[in-house]
Amino acid sequence: MSIENRVGVVAKITAAPGKRADLARELMKAQDHVSKEAGTIHYILNEDATDENVLWMWEMYTDQDALNSHMGAQWFKDWGPSLAPFMGGRPELIFVKPLGGKGC
């Protein structure tokens, strides 16, 4: 499969102090929806190894339309507010374009 149209997102998600496990649990609830999105290739939640309040989400989509569809989905809009009690601020989103490598 060609990677030339793929887009990725690396999201740094900071939890409110002591709320990382709760935030992770809420973020994982998205997996039921994401697993049904044809254009979502990777949607992986990670804990930061050194900061107890930080989570990282790695996302890869077949193309920009797939990312737009994900972020514009009604389930996404409905789910977002459930994260607020556990958040320590707005997520930092970095948009990337893969060049190549294993797993692309």
pLDDT in tens, 46-60: 999 999 999 999 999
- Nearest C-alpha neighbor of 5 from the set 73, 68, 72, 65: 65
pTM: 0.92
Q: What is the average pLDDT score of the chain?
A: 95
- Residue 75 makes CB contacts below 8 A (sequence gap 6+) with 33
Domains along the chain? Answer: 7-96 (3.30.70.100)
> Tens digit of pLDDT for each residue in 71-102?
999 999 999 999 999 999 999 999 999 999 88
Q: What is the mean pLDDT of residues 37-43?
A: 95
Indicate if the alpha-carbon torsion angle 4, 7, 99, 1 is positive or negative. Answer: negative
- Nearest C-alpha neighbor of 44 from the set 32, 29, 28, 33: 28
Q: Can you say how many angstroms the Cα of residue 44 is from the centroid of all Cα atoms in its chain?
A: 7
H or E stretch at 60: strand 54-61
- Percentage of the chain beyond pLDDT 70 is 99
SS3 42: strand
